[in-house]
Amino acid sequence: MNLMTWSEHFVSGIDAVDVQHKALVEMINAAAPHLAGGGEDAHRTVGPLLDKLVRYAASHFQFEENLMQQAGVLPDYFAQHQQTHQTFVDEVIQMRTQYEKGESLSGNDLLHFLTSWLTFHILSEDKHMAVQVLAIRRGDTAAQAFEALDTSKGAPQAVYNAALVDLFSLLTARNRTLAEANAQVLEAQRALKAANSLLETRVLDRTRELADANTALVVERQALVDSIASLQQAQARLLQSEKMAAVGQLAAGVAHEINNPIGFVSSNLGSLSGYVEHMLTLLAAYEKIRPGMPAALRAGIDSLPAHAELAYIREDAPELLRESKEGLARVKRIVNDLRDFTRMDTADRAPTDIHAVLDSALQVVGNELKYKAEVVKAYAALPPVVCNAAQLGQVFVNLLVNAAQAIEGHGTITLCTGTAAQAVWIDISDTGAGMAPEIQQRIFEPFYTTKPVGQGTGLGLSITWDIVKRHGGSLEVQSSPGQGTRFRITLPVVPAAVLAGPGTSPGSP
């Protein structure tokens, strides 16, 4: 059974408006069983139905407002009608929220409001609107159409008056309920405030007692935490130093032993390349004279097994030599890395402009960076640092290359510098893939690499760490997967006595 029944009194005279009014009535009838029934089903179902009603009502209101604007009704009347539309939408949204939260509003209250308001709106507002629009279409002015309205007689007026009284009764009852609920809330808040005040006093007293008892415990615990942290750091430094020393000895021996065979293999490959080139030249000459050779001699040569593979050998031999030379060059690079890793000299150290070393490193790796990343510099004024500029340049080159390789596509590499206490720091950050914690714990280990086999020796960061350590500094990493990586190098500032020595001049870069 429908809650609202379409009546001939609702007919406005404009077909499109009447069709939309019927749709609104049907939507209210669709929501009525759920609102009247209440319970869990109503709270799950009513929301989407009311959302649909609000959206359709807004579309219908826009249609009516367009009709009035096209007809040219009086501005004051148009503004009042438009305000009525907006009030309905706002009220439905507010009442729907109250209903879903269970705030002193039942489903029947909401139905009561919807049916009363729609009856009032159709019989009064929209019928008046339709009368004026039709009169203006017939040739009346907007003022004549408005003055000709007669709202004093007829059954529609009686229904409208009853609906209007019903509407305001509902709103008054709802406001009274809200006021009573507010009073109860205020009283509950006053009681809660008093209880809280008493509780706060008791908590403060108890807190003072606990604070006094815990002070000594906190001091002892902090001292224990500091001791454990210091011990862990010392153990980590000792383990790393021992590991690097052992690997250094091994690397020095391996590099020495590999250098000798590399030398004669390289020499032999050079000679073999020359021999192959001569043989290929001879084969080319043979191919030229082959057509003029006696048939018997040519047939005898063609029957040799090697002749069938002559074209393949001519093509494959240079390629085999090229691949062999590339493999040998890779072995040489690995040996050079091993020698760099084991080099422990501290000579040729002098007060150095860190920014100049950074810029030089950027020049070295410029080709590798320009297609992968934009380089951003944020240099601060730095004092000179006593260091081996070449070794420090190697550190910067290694970190810049790693930053570029960590970026997929195109990203940003940022270079920042600054001072802290008696040291300077250099940050090299990238917007690359980042590293998981388990990888960060191992990146400074010799021969550890995440690159595919054949693409990295795993010595780059080990050498970098060793160079920084030998300069009395530290190398730290901060990274998260997908968030990029930041390496921070910290180096001690050059002592004033060194700056005052001959051949040096103090000042910052």
All domains of the chain, ordered by start, with CATH? Answer: 8-151 (1.20.120.50), 226-342 (no CATH), 350-499 (3.30.565.10)
User: Is the pTM of the predicted complex or chain greater than 0.85?
Assistant: no
- By residue count, the chain amounts to 509
pLDDT of the residue at 365: 84
Distance from CA of residue 308 to its chain's centroid?
62
> Could you tell me the two tokens for 4?
């609202």
Closest CA to 446 of 341, 348, 358, 345: 341
The model's pLDDT over 443-491, given as tens digits with 9 standing for 90+, comes to 877 776 766 555 555 677 888 888 898 888 999 999 989 889 999 999 9
The model's pLDDT over 225-279, given as tens digits with 9 standing for 90+, comes to 887 877 776 666 555 555 555 555 556 666 666 777 777 777 777 788 887 787 7
Rounded to whole angstroms, the Cα distance separating 221 from 210 reads: 16
* pLDDT tops 60 at residue 162: no
> Helix 310-342 vs helix 155-289: angle between axes, to the nearest 10 degrees?
110
Q: How far apart are the first and last CA of the chain?
A: 90
> Could you tell me the two tokens for 479?
């990274």
Q: Would you say 129 and 68 are in contact if contact means Cβ atoms under 8 Å apart? A: yes
Beta strands across the sheet bearing 373-378: 373-378, 411-420, 423-430, 485-492, 474-479
Rounded to whole angstroms, the Cα distance separating 403 from 434 reads: 10
Half-sphere exposure of 41 (CA within 13 A, CB side): 8
The model's pLDDT over 95-141, given as tens digits with 9 standing for 90+, comes to 777 766 765 566 677 777 777 777 777 777 788 888 899 999 999 99
Give mean pLDDT, residues 336-347: 54
Which residue reads 């009311």 in tokens? 50
Rounded to whole angstroms, the Cα distance separating 328 from 402 reads: 24
Radius of gyration for the chain, computed over Cα atoms and rounded to the nearest angstrom: 45
